[in-house]
Amino acid sequence: MQEFRVEELAEAAGVAVDTVRYYQRQQLLASPRRAGRRAIYDSSHLDRLAEIRLLASKGFSLTQIRSLSTADASGLLADLAEQNAADPELDKAELARRAEVPEFIVDVVVSASLIAPSGEPGEERFPADAVDMLVAAKTLVNAGVSMEELTALALRHATHIEDVVDDAIGVFKRQSDRNGDDRDELIALMHRLVPVASSLVGQHFERTLRSRALARLGDDTPAADGGVVEFSRRLAERVDPVSVFMTATDGHRALWIRPELGQSIVGIGAVDTIEPYGENRFSAASAARAALGARVRRHGSADAPAPVLLGGFSFAIGSSEHGPDWTGFPDARWVLPEITFIDRADGSWIIAATRMAPGEDERIVLESLEARVDALAAAPASPVEATDVLQGEPIADDQLYVDLVASAVGDIRAGDLGKVVCARVQEREPIDVGITLQRLVPRYPTCAVFAFGVGDRTFLGASPEQLVLLDGPEVQTVALAGTTARGCDETADEALGAEMMASSKVRQEHQFVVADIT
């Protein structure tokens, strides 16, 4: 059996090395055999790559290809897919041109699962009716519907429509059983029944939507059971975010400080928690946020900031044998705090929130929130007291570190990992979270100082990178990859910059960052 390195396999298959590794991460392509540090592929991998390209050219999505073999695709399913689906004939640029939107909007709609392309990464193709879907989405957004709210609707619809589709397939299957095994007759049956069933369901949805919308116009009823009520108040003095953060010793707590900008957010407790998992955690979290936002009723200061969710996403999905123990920090977690302190140059606010229980009177709940805000505003948190500085020490067993690096290199070559950062320092004693944060703020004024705590565990740091900032329609990023110390003058800086630009390692690192963000 012929053997390949990953570069040789990619060349033989006519795809990029990144595509091979992408298929492995998507579980479309089996992992290679390992020979020491080498990753060995064989002819079965080459055949599978050819199979993936063949199925993609027939209009199958990568999700379908994951569980579909060429033999399966040659039967009735393939006939239905080829005859019943619109030909995937548009690339992203042409789709964007016809819908009169920027290409990045296509990426947004795809990531939100509103449109599903076929084909390989970088070579996605879209059916002609995707133009109408994109124009419809654009019309809704132009009318004031946010993309997050639209995504929430789409995901909720998808969740329930799968059950309806399964029922419809059961109906079709029972009918086909009565018609025997005549493939042509079965395909003709599907062509007759699918449009009729689609029209029936679509008309029912439109009629129900119109009647429910008319019934609820002007509705200003109190928060329903399960809704969230929040009360905000402007504070007379600015708060010390680290001191406030340290008042919470258990449960959920979060801190975010931009020292140079004079901004901070502290969240304590959890009224609602969003914890999606897996590869769709980003769009799922966005949809859940929009759905939660629709259930929040705001009271108090008219100029107060809106309630915020505090949290983040993991880079890796699920647990890993590499790195530290991340128990308590899942694939994603976003928390609507019970108490939020927001401090900015134009003022400071405290926001208290709670969930309505069945049968509760919103006025009584609101009075309780006001009383809690008053009590917190009247009792500012005590400053954090200084302690001795802890000294870290390198890992004693250098061979352990060498073996760790060798293992990481092997995983990178196999395509299982893209980038690894191995730590060589560990603390002898538990870290004082409050003092560490107090020292990070003045030492790194241009960074974002953060801390997320769950129980007795805290993830904290000071990051120089602003991966994504969304401000209305504008998206900004300051993502760094490959950094070095400044030179003694401008000429030295330019030389260092040129050296980094010429480094394949640094450029590869930067490409990882670009790929993760986009």
Would you place residue 88 in the very low, low, confident or very high pLDDT band (cuts 50, 70, 90)? low
Helix, strand, or coil (residue 251) = coil
**Average pLDDT score over the chain:** 78
On whether residue 476 sits in a domain, the answer given is yes
Looking at the fold, whether 248 and 374 belong to one and the same domain comes out as yes
Query: Of the residues 325, 351, 378, which one is the last residue of a structural domain?
Result: 378
Averaged pLDDT, 372-388: 75
Looking at the fold, whether 335 and 262 belong to one and the same domain comes out as yes
Averaged pLDDT, 139-158: 67
Looking at the fold, whether 22 and 130 belong to one and the same domain comes out as yes
Q: What is the pLDDT of residue 443?
A: 92
Q: How far apart are CA 349 and CA 299, in angstroms?
A: 13
Would you place residue 221 in the very low, low, confident or very high pLDDT band (cuts 50, 70, 90)? very low
Name, of 58-62, 244-248, 286-290, 419-423, the range with top average pLDDT.
244-248
On whether residue 411 sits in a domain, the answer given is no
Would you place residue 159 in the very low, low, confident or very high pLDDT band (cuts 50, 70, 90)? low
On whether residue 500 sits in a domain, the answer given is yes
- 498 vs 250, which has greater pLDDT? 498
| pLDDT for 178 beyond 80 | no
In DSSP terms, which residues pair with 125 in a beta bridge? 118
CATH number of 63's domain: 1.10.1660.10
Least confident of 57-66, 174-183, 371-380: 174-183
Using alpha carbons only, what angle is made at residue 57 by residues 53 and 62, rounded to the nearest 5 degrees? 65
- Domain containing 159 equals 3-168
On whether residue 457 sits in a domain, the answer given is no
The residue count for the chain: 518
Asked if 113 and 280 count as a contact pair (C-beta separation under 8 A), the reply is yes
Looking at the fold, whether 163 and 236 belong to one and the same domain comes out as no
Query: Percent of the chain, pLDDT > 90?
Result: 18
The residue among 63, 511, 21, 509 whose CA lies nearest residue 280 is 63
Q: Can you say how many angstroms the Cα of residue 192 is from the centroid of all Cα atoms in its chain?
A: 40
The residue among 76, 87, 86 whose CA lies nearest residue 185 is 76
pTM above 0.85, yes or no: no
Please count the structural domains in the chain: 3
Pull the structure tokens for residue 64: 């379908």
- 409 vs 482, which has greater pLDDT? 409
**DSSP secondary structure string for all residues of 143-209:** TT--HHHHHHHHHHHHHHHHHHHHHHHHHHHHHHHHTTT-HHHHHHHHHHHHHHHHHHHHHHHHHHH
- pLDDT tens profile 114-139: 677 877 666 778 877 788 878 877 77
Averaged pLDDT, 27-50: 85
**Beta sheet of 272-274, edge-to-edge order:** 272-274, 332-336, 310-313
Would you place residue 73 in the very low, low, confident or very high pLDDT band (cuts 50, 70, 90)? very low
Looking at the fold, whether 370 and 236 belong to one and the same domain comes out as yes
Averaged pLDDT, 289-300: 82
| pLDDT for 74 beyond 50 | no
Averaged pLDDT, 9-35: 83
| pLDDT for 481 beyond 90 | no
Task: Put residue 218 in one of left, alpha, beta given phi > 0 → left and psi -120 to 50 → alpha.
Answer: left
Q: What is the pLDDT of residue 184?
A: 64
Looking at the fold, whether 136 and 280 belong to one and the same domain comes out as no
Looking at the fold, whether 152 and 275 belong to one and the same domain comes out as no
Least confident of 214-228, 248-262, 368-382: 214-228
Q: Is the dihedral of CA 425, 429, 430, 435 positive or negative?
A: negative
Averaged pLDDT, 148-173: 65
Query: Of the residues 120, 152, 168, which one is the last residue of a structural domain?
Result: 168
The answer for residues whose C-beta is within 8 angstroms of residue 218's C-beta and 6 or more apart is none
Looking at the fold, whether 15 and 157 belong to one and the same domain comes out as yes
Least confident of 74-88, 292-306, 353-367: 74-88
| pLDDT for 104 beyond 80 | no
**Relative orientation angle of helices 183-216 and 76-84, to the nearest 10 degrees:** 50
Half-sphere exposure of 150 (CA within 13 A, CB side): 22
On whether residue 284 sits in a domain, the answer given is yes
DSSP 431: -
Query: Of the residues 325, 355, 378, which one is the last residue of a structural domain?
Result: 378
Q: How far apart are CA 353 and CA 370, in angstroms?
A: 10
Half-sphere exposure of 346 (CA within 13 A, CB side): 3
| pLDDT for 86 beyond 50 | no
On whether residue 202 sits in a domain, the answer given is no
The structure tokens 């009584």 sit at: 364
Q: How far apart are CA 33 and CA 46, in angstroms?
A: 14
**DSSP secondary structure string for all residues of 201-230:** HHHHHHHHHHHHHHHHTT--PPPPTT-EEE
Looking at the fold, whether 161 and 13 belong to one and the same domain comes out as yes
On whether residue 409 sits in a domain, the answer given is no
Helix, strand, or coil (residue 336) = strand
| pLDDT for 336 beyond 90 | yes
Asked if 335 and 252 count as a contact pair (C-beta separation under 8 A), the reply is yes
Q: What is the pLDDT of residue 46?
A: 92
| pLDDT for 331 beyond 80 | yes
Looking at the fold, whether 28 and 139 belong to one and the same domain comes out as yes
DSSP 270: -
| pLDDT for 394 beyond 50 | yes
Percent of the chain as helix, strand, coil, to the nearest 5: 45, 20, 35
Q: How far apart are CA 40 and CA 22, in angstroms?
A: 17
Would you place residue 371 in the very low, low, confident or very high pLDDT band (cuts 50, 70, 90)? very high
Looking at the fold, whether 246 and 121 belong to one and the same domain comes out as no
Looking at the fold, whether 253 and 371 belong to one and the same domain comes out as yes
Q: What is the pLDDT of residue 399?
A: 79
Helix, strand, or coil (residue 62) = helix
| pLDDT for 152 beyond 80 | no
| pLDDT for 301 beyond 80 | yes
- 303 vs 391, which has greater pLDDT? 303
- 89 vs 177, which has greater pLDDT? 89
Q: What is the pLDDT of residue 328?
A: 82
Task: Count other C-beta atoms under 10 Å from residue 296's C-beta.
Answer: 17
Q: What is the pLDDT of residue 212?
A: 60
**Beta sheet of 3-4, edge-to-edge order:** 3-4, 38-42, 33-35
On whether residue 347 sits in a domain, the answer given is yes
Taking CA atoms, 131 is separated from 126, 135, 155, in Å, by: 9, 6, 20
Would you place residue 183 in the very low, low, confident or very high pLDDT band (cuts 50, 70, 90)? low
Asked if 263 and 343 count as a contact pair (C-beta separation under 8 A), the reply is yes
Averaged pLDDT, 215-233: 65
Asked if 115 and 134 count as a contact pair (C-beta separation under 8 A), the reply is yes
Q: What is the pLDDT of residue 440?
A: 93
